[in-house]
Amino acid sequence: MTPADPVAPLRPRIQHTLDGFLEQQRTLLSSIGDELLPLVDAADHLLKGGKRLRPAFCYWGWRAAGGSGDDTAVLVTGSALELFQAAALVHDDVIDGSDTRRGQPSAHRRFAAHHSRHGWDGDATGYGTATAILLGDLLLGWSDELFAQAPLGHQARTQARRVFERMRTEVGAGQYLDILAQTDTSTPPVEQAERSRRVIMHKSARYSVQHPLVLGGRIAAASEALIAAYARYGSALGEAFQLRDDILGVFGDPAETGKPAGDDLREGKRTLLVAYAGEQADTGQTKTIATLLGTPDLDDDGVADLRQVLVDTGAVRRVEDRITRLISEAERALDHTEVDDDGRAALATLIRLATTRSR
């Protein structure tokens, strides 16, 4: 595997691991009853494809720390991260009421349609929501089950499990902070930016880059100095990754992102973009934000009006500037990290892949 392409060679291997694990679950659930198989089908659908950046950070965190030889443990751990990510996506879509995920119906919409096709009794929407929550719970449990199957020594397993457990707790905490931010809008604009960053770090940034990278380092028995450097790199790059995602959530092409344009605005996401806009907005712009942000049926004109406020207040420019600074922080952390040349080149490439993507 060459550092020039640090992700692509991993994708089929991660997919193979996930397919094998899901087949185990299919066998188990079918022994209980075939009516459970749509749960596995939905999981399989959700886990096909994807960028696989989290397994890549885990793998290269291992390789760059001197990992060599049999890489089964790090591949299994990376695959467990994909199951965890899938659980987070299913629950996030339920919380946000999102209709699509990667250009396809989100899990709760998929199950609601399943209910309607069969003409079952009761409310299709309620059935879809309840079933998606259960699917997310299954995926969360399966992530831990697959992680437990990684062939790790006692010390590596102990160290890695601490990271995995903290990751799970932080994401739950960050998800709640996100819900709170959309509900409690009384926070002064000057404080909203810091609250938005807290949401970013705990809901997505750390588990997107920092925790996978540190997991790989722990599996390779990396030094504490290297783990600290990974944390600095991962914290900066994880935030930049999420800020890019926030911009795509407002300005991205639906053909690329797989979600309708402006969905984050309809959902009332209190992102750093919105916080920065609130700090600089004049009376009219403040009214536009208050009136339109979080309107579920916001039309294209409303999305365009909010986008214009984000541009005119300088919010987009400020977020882009912050992404640039964070990239520099990640690069500096990498420059001062004792890793081999292949690992350094791969982690440098991953900075670009994480921050210049279109979806």
Residue 243 lies inside a defined structural domain of this protein: yes
What distance in Å separates the CA atoms of residue 199 and residue 343, rounded to the nearest whole number? 30
| Residue 301: both structure tokens together | 């004109």
SS3 content of the chain, % helix, strand, coil (to 5): 75, 0, 20
Total domains present in the chain:
1
Residue 87 lies inside a defined structural domain of this protein: yes
Residue 102 lies inside a defined structural domain of this protein: yes
Residue 5 lies inside a defined structural domain of this protein: no
Q: How far is CA 259 from CA 69, 199, 255, 265, 296, in A?
A: 40, 21, 8, 12, 14
Q: What is the pLDDT along the chain (359 residues), one digit of tens a residue?
A: 556 789 999 999 999 999 999 999 999 999 999 999 999 999 999 999 889 999 999 999 999 999 999 999 999 999 999 999 999 999 999 998 888 888 789 999 999 999 999 999 999 999 999 999 999 999 999 999 999 999 999 999 999 999 999 999 999 999 999 998 888 878 777 788 999 999 999 999 999 999 999 999 999 999 999 999 999 999 999 999 999 999 998 998 887 777 777 888 998 889 999 999 999 999 999 999 999 999 999 999 999 999 999 999 999 999 999 999 999 999 999 998 889 889 999 999 999 999 987 66
What is the helix (H) or strand (E) element at residue 290, kind and residue range?
helix 283-292
CATH of the domain at 291: 1.10.600.10
* Angle, helices 272-280/315-335, rounded to nearest 10 degrees: 130
Counting Cα atoms < 13 Å in the Cβ hemisphere of 352 gives 9
Residue 1 lies inside a defined structural domain of this protein: no
Residue 304 lies inside a defined structural domain of this protein: yes
| Residue 78: both structure tokens together | 């990376």
Strand partners, 101: 104
Residue 33 lies inside a defined structural domain of this protein: yes
Residue 3 lies inside a defined structural domain of this protein: no
Q: Could you tell me if 219 and 245 are in contact, meaning their C-beta atoms sit under 8 angstroms apart?
A: no
Domain membership of residue 267 as a residue range:
10-355
